[in-house]
Homo-oligomer: A and B are copies of this chain.
Amino acid sequence: MSEIKQWHADKGPQYRLKHDRLLRVAAACFNQKGYSGTSLKDVARQLDLTDAALYYYVRSKEELVYQCYRRAADLGARAMARGQAAGGSGLERALAYLDHHLDALCGEEGPVAIMSEIPSLKPGHKADILERSREHSLAFEVLIAEGIADGSIAPCDVRMTGNAIMGALNWIPKWFRPGGPVSAAQVRGQFTEFCRRALGA
């Protein structure tokens, strides 16, 4: 990550804006067309740029993917932090986290990349993303465990339950389209409702 900081450090706010836009557009492309299905030209076209121009913002396609995933991980981590900081029982905090994460997934922060291609990241990047993922899953499992301890969540296999809910969450970008038949608010409400039922004691 220090590499990226250095790479970005000196650039102005203009740069940052466009770079962020790039990540969102790329995430949308990867989610919709698949990784191998999206060429840099595809991404560039949506930004009114040439494919070559992307290299001003990114070292390689691999790094573009990596940064998309990193962004996704950051958003997830932020949601998790908020959830943990929320008051109430374990269940309430878990749901608060989910609500925040859903907001990121479906809301204005733009599309978030589904991490389907972690394995084809280069070793260092892969390790980084995998570590963050594990951390995230673990944090969620802790929330569940705390909920069980305080009686707000029904006893269950924590690992399994965590995996199930994370899976359901990760899959959302597959079927949710902003501006589609279902609104972000609906998804948010109904999904947390679903989880409340699934977890509640």
**A182 pairs with B168, CB closer than 8 A:** no
Contact call A197/B194, Cβ cutoff below 8 A: no
Interchain CA distance A96-B191 in the complex, whole Å: 23
Complex interface: chain B residues within 8 A of A118 (CB):
34
Task: Give the complex CA separation of A146 and B50 in angstroms.
Answer: 52
* Cα A106 to Cα B164 with chains together (Å): 14
Interface of A is mostly: helix
- Identify the closest chain B residue to A194 (Cβ): B164
Q: How many whole Å from A134's CB to the nearest CB in chain B?
A: 11
Cβ of A163 and Cβ of B171 under 8 Å apart? yes
Choose from B154, B156, B170, B190 the contact partner of A171 (Cβ within 8 Å): B170
Against B, the Cβ 8 Å flags (1 = close, 0 = not) of A181-201 are 010001100110111011100
- Whether A152 sits at the interface, judged by CB under 8 Å, is no
Considering the chains assembled together, what is the distance between the CA atoms of A38 and B196 in angstroms? 39
Contact of A156 among B120, B172, B193 (CB under 8 A): B193
The verdict on A175 contacting chain B, using a C-beta distance below 8 Å, is yes
Q: Which of the listed residues A35, A164, A194 has the most CB atoms from chain B within 10 Å of its own CB?
A: A164
A161 at the B interface (CB under 8 A): yes
What string of 1s and 0s marks CB contacts (under 8 Å) between A151-163 and chain B? 0001011011101
- Pick from A186, A191, A195 the residue with the most CB of B within 10 Å: A191
The answer to whether A165 has its CB under 8 Å from any CB of chain B is: yes
**Cβ-based interface call for A179 (8 A):** no
Closest chain B residue, CB of each to CB of A163: B175
